Amino acid sequence: MKTRAQMEISFGMIVSVVLIIAFLSVSFYAIGKFLEIQKTIQIGKFTDNLQFDIDKIWKSSQGSQEFSYSLPTRIQKVCLVDFRKPETGKDSGIYYDLKKSFYGSENLIFYPVGSGGGLDSTILKHIELDKITEIQNPLCFENIGGKTNFTISMEFGENLAIIK
């Protein structure tokens, strides 16, 4: 005589398993969205802090200071670019990629394009873009381990700040 093992799962148990899977899925989705929002806020904070530091140097008669900023690691480079001039220098190969985030007056663009999560480009005020991009256009700064360093300076008698 052969016996068969038989497993019975109640309808309530099946519904419970499905609900647990649904709750876990929604939880992981929500956590992912919150992390994405955190990165977007970090990018916004970067641009605000950079503009604040530029303004601080610009309002003084002269000065030079190095600043370090945090950015999400998905951003590889922060580039200052003048699209009124042709591409030159070591990062000239990404000039046309950066142009995809240019809508008329932006001068700071994150590379790779799209890594800014909707904040791919912005306008920095009170900088001498012609002088900054004189030798290299675009002038890009590496984002190494989530940190990017800039030296912001302004010489006596100058009207606008320079970023190096």
**Residues 82-119 pLDDT 10s:** 999 999 999 989 999 999 888 888 999 999 998 888 88
Residue boundaries of the structural domains of the chain: 11-163
- Band of pLDDT at residue 4, cut at 50, 70 and 90: low
pLDDT above 90: residue 46? yes
pTM: 0.82
Taking a C-beta distance cutoff of 8 angstroms, is the pair 122, 81 a contact?
no
How far apart CA 92 and CA 107 sit, in angstroms, is: 15
